[in-house]
Amino acid sequence: MTLTTSAPSEVKKSSKNKYIAALVAGFLVCATFLHGRATLFLDPSTNTSFHSWLNSISDWITFHRTSNPFLQIVVEGIRSFINGLVTFTQNLISQGSGNRSTPIIGWLGVVAIVVFVTFVISNKKIALLAAAGMTSLGLLGYWTESMQTLALTLGAVVLSLLIGIPVGVLAGIFPRFEKLLMPLLDFSQIMPTFVYLSPVTLFFLIGPASATIVTLIYAIPPVLRITSIALREVSTASVEAGISMGSTKWQMLRKIQVPLAKRTIVVGINQTIMAALSMVTIAALINAPGLGQVVLSSLQQLDVGRSFVAGLGIVILAIVLDRSTTAAAAKVEEKEPTEQSKRIRRITVGISAAITAAAVAISHSVTWAATFPGTGVIGQHLSNGVSSASAWLQDHFSNVTNAMTNIVSYLFINPLQWLLAETPWYIVGFAWIALAAIIGGRRVAVISAICIAGIIGTGLWSDTMVTLASTFVAAFITVILGIVMGVWIGRNKRADSIIRPILDAGQVLPAFVYLVPFLGLFNASRFTAILAAVVYAAPAAIKLAADGIRGVPAGMIEAGIAAGSTPWQMIIKVQLPAARRGIALATNQGLIYVLAMIVVGGLVGGGGLGYLVVDGFSQETYFGKGLAAGLAIVLLGVMLDRISQAVAKKNPLQQG
Amino acid sequence: MTSASPMISVKNLWKVFGSNPDQVIGTELASLTRSELRAKTGNTVAVRDVSFDVAPGEVFVVMGLSGSGKSTLVRCMTRLIEPTAGELHFGNEDVLSVDAKRLRELRRTKFSMVFQHFGLLPHRKVIDNIAYSLEINGVEKDARHARANEVIELVGLQGYGHAYPDQLSGGMQQRVGLARALAVDPEIMFLDEPFSALDPLIRRDMQAEVIRLHHELGKTMVFITHDLAEAVKLGDRIAIMRDGAIVQIGTPEDLVMNPANEYVANFVKEHPKSHVLTIRSIMRTPGTGEELSEIALAPQTTVKDAARSVVGSTRPLRVVENGQVIGIVGHDEILRAIAGTED
């Protein structure tokens, strides 16, 4: 690494800006004169030969499922194992089995178990919250669906932890193994959740097995990554002391490293649970049963009320799971209490266990405790209320919402789409590669070129550009929001203490539920998808920007104040420039999150690649096309990630 | 102080950090200074050709500023860091050639270590921190707790066995560190700047504690410090390190009175010489018929300690070794020593 002094890098930067300006100008000129040519537009009903080829692979797999040894033994083996597991958890809490019309454990038993477990792993307050939350699921009229979601989530979480924690421990001890895993984990993190779905269904068919596998892919990385970090972050003092006293590797792990990493590992478990819940709801697209299914079907029927109530159910489940595991992580830190309080606790736990067992037994056989009583009238009322509120809003404020939709559409989305999707592909492609080269150098340019070639290969260039236009608009709004809010809460401790918990809560909610309120206000449109994407991506962007602002050295701030800066000058001339790296990171994360949500927005009129993915699940003829769309999303994601990361890397905090 | 069979023997020990350390030792590169070598090869010499012996029961202090290599040296001696070259014997055992299993055995029984930042395990109670070595060596719970309670008493931590480390003050935490090191009844203790993280007052208490424990238990100790006063107070002999090499080894008096070079001289300049100067080096032969005090002093008494008795007596005091009067000290000698040496 060579350190350049600030003078030459200033020169380089200004010439860089000149290149970019020239590039943009050239691009605009070309776009104007060559408008509408070579756009590679593909009619929605047309399959390219690549799509047909993918279809034929799918056909081949279907045809050979029972004859090909790999498919028969490995794929079908995994599928039936997971199906068995899912059937077991479903029989346990959400469906009848054998000659039973109700699950083995009825609602009362489930509520009792959840309350008991939250009480043991966290505390009384959270246990009460869990009781209220679980009961309200029944009152909303979605007990069975909630249990389907919970059963799928728990199955996936158990498998995720069984795989993620041991592998994470290995990665924590063996740095080389970790290095090997890193790109895989990074990749799974930048891939929008949506795109796992098609390739997995190719092998494991639509249904619970695929739903579980996609959930695993999404939910294993958090706990794996955090476990390995937790192990490596055990203080060197403790590790050195352990070695110096003659511990074997195994003793080190069992008696020192894992106990000290426990709290952080529980944080990882929390993230894995939340990721699993999020993915299980999205897996509704491949026929996973549960609340996601209700949200999905009502989104498709534009039934705002019903999707709201089911979405609320998901939020309640998310809150119960998140709060209890977060409290559990805090509890790990608590030291062993006194003998007396230990005895009292043992007695309380014993009594609660007995009550829980009784509740489970009753719920197994007595009807009122097995099936949640009532018909979900409350949920029905709520649904109707929300529907009419939405209708009323759309009636009375349609000029406002329409105006917003139109302004954003005509001012931003349409021009961008005009530029990106209706300009010859070679102009757009060249501009991209040139931009990548200017910002990130040769490596990033090569990666971008490969991605662009790949996207053209999928035959979905035009749809990709439509998605890209929406992504840019949403990312632009997200970054502006991120900087403004980030500056505010980065400078104001009080605002931070109020807003940050809201952002944290926002980050644990499954992506799906963000679509609901905007659908209620703005109907199905590209703008709805963009708004949902902004809300989905904003928490991460705001937090990163705020951390960047907060991270500006105190000495720099003092010097700024001492020089007599106004608050505004402070922000513009000191804090923002110094926090450039944090803001670049916020942009990077914002882009990745936005892309993930924009494609989900394909469900509510977002169009582009996301729509093709969804279409691929529902119509067999377009399966290959959906798969190709997934691939295009991945390529687009990689390209956006690399370029925006290059920006973050090229703008280090200039020190001294 | 070196006896015929040393407890620890270090010979030509090297530690070179970098991608290709072997290219340094034994070549002309070895004679380069640290910065020259780093510029030339990218390697850093942390310990440079260090040799010394430590006698059984001796407190051997290694002193140097930060970056002098003293911490690396002690880690090489416990093989927390593998030395690049050299020899290391504890008694007759060649420590550098033992396999991992024997090394663990040595660590569990023969020597132990006290760390600057205590290195306590925060998830274990004090008693389980102290019993850790015994636990991993397969000692039953009752037996190891009994032993742990013994050493808890020894270091004055009665009543704190069931506390957690973070509930104790820094000084008390380091008492746990000492107790843990004593629990296995080792022959050698390595103390790596054990009191540097403590307040000056607590530090003084802990130094006294180490002196007491050394008197009671007579362990061989290798004590690392950057504080000359601490080195002089505790050390039978002191090795001064600079840039990875030992500049001088000697008794506190040697170092203060006869510094080997300017570096050491600068180091000890501020140190009151009366604290290290012994009366052996200022005594004179008695004049004929000179009347002497009844009080006798040992020759290794420092001027500072002798001053009060000498000044309190009107006649010179005798210096006695093995029952023989080998010299006397009077007011003149003490005054001259203090006046001539304090600057």
Interchain CB contact of A238 with B (< 8 Å):
yes
**Other beta carbons within 10 Å of A300:** 14
Full set of structural domains in chain A with CATH: 1-63+377-656 (1.10.3720.10)
Query: What's the order of all strands across the beta sheet hosting B324-329?
Result: B296-297, B317-321, B324-329
Select the residue of A240, A245, A335 nearest B133 (Cβ to Cβ): A245
* Residues A381, A27: Cα–Cα separation, whole Å: 55
Q: Which of residues 307-346 of A touch B (CB under 8 A)?
A: 335-336
Identify all chain B residues contacting A242, using CB atoms and an 8 Å cutoff: 121, 132
Interchain CB contact of A80 with B (< 8 Å):
no
Distant-in-sequence, close-in-space partners of B115: CB < 8 Å, separation ≥ 6: A237, A240, A241, A244, B177, B192, B194
pTM of the predicted protein model: 0.80
Interchain CB contact of B138 with A (< 8 Å):
no
Identify all chain B residues contacting A252, using CB atoms and an 8 Å cutoff: none
Q: Specify the pLDDT at position B341.
A: 53
Nearest-CA distance B191 → chain A (Å) = 12
Degrees to nearest 5, angle at CA A594 with A588 and A598: 150
pLDDT of A175 above 80: yes
Q: Specify the pLDDT at position B340.
A: 67
Cβ distance of B123 and A260 shorter than 8 Å: yes
Identify all chain B residues contacting A337, using CB atoms and an 8 Å cutoff: none
Residue-by-residue pLDDT tens, chain B, 343 positions: 444 689 999 999 999 888 777 777 777 777 777 788 787 777 888 999 999 999 999 999 999 988 899 999 999 999 999 999 999 999 999 999 999 899 999 998 999 999 988 889 888 899 999 999 899 888 999 999 999 999 999 888 999 999 999 899 988 999 999 999 999 999 999 999 999 888 888 889 899 989 998 998 889 999 999 988 899 889 999 999 998 999 999 998 888 888 888 888 888 887 777 788 888 888 888 877 788 888 888 888 888 888 888 888 888 888 888 888 888 888 888 888 877 654 4
Identify all chain A residues contacting B107, using CB atoms and an 8 Å cutoff: 243-246
* Residues B87, A607: Cα–Cα separation, whole Å: 73
Preferred mutation among A245, A250, A338 to probe B, highest tally of B CBs within 10 A = A245
Interchain CB contact of A249 with B (< 8 Å):
no
Among A191-195, A318-322, A417-421, the range scoring the smallest mean pLDDT is A191-195
* Token digits of residue A390: 């939405």
Degrees to nearest 5, angle at CA A567 with A564 and A571: 110
Sign of the Cα pseudo-torsion (B61, B65, B66, B70, in order) = negative
Check if the beta carbon of residue A508 is closer than 8 Å to that of residue A279.
no
Mean pLDDT, range A238-262, rounded to an integer? 90
Q: Specify the pLDDT at position A655.
A: 36
A118-138 confidence digits (pLDDT tens): 998 888 888 999 999 999 999
Mean pLDDT, range A26-52, rounded to an integer? 80
SS3 of B246, please? strand
Select the residue of B106, B123, B136 nearest A251 (Cβ to Cβ): B136
Cβ distance of B115 and A237 shorter than 8 Å: yes
Q: Specify the pLDDT at position A7.
A: 47
Interchain CB contact of B215 with A (< 8 Å):
no
Compare all CA atoms of chain B with the CA of A252 and give the residue at the minimum distance. B136
Degrees to nearest 5, angle at CA A27 with A26 and A30: 85
A498-550 confidence digits (pLDDT tens): 888 888 777 777 777 788 878 777 877 888 889 889 988 998 899 888 888 88
Distant-in-sequence, close-in-space partners of B19: CB < 8 Å, separation ≥ 6: B42, B43
Q: Specify the pLDDT at position A650.
A: 60
Identify all chain A residues contacting B78, using CB atoms and an 8 Å cutoff: 244
Cβ distance of B118 and A248 shorter than 8 Å: no
* Residues A293, A315: Cα–Cα separation, whole Å: 15
Compare all CA atoms of chain A with the CA of B132 and give the residue at the minimum distance. A245
Among A202-206, A353-357, A442-446, B237-241, the range scoring the smallest mean pLDDT is A202-206
Q: Specify the pLDDT at position A481.
A: 92
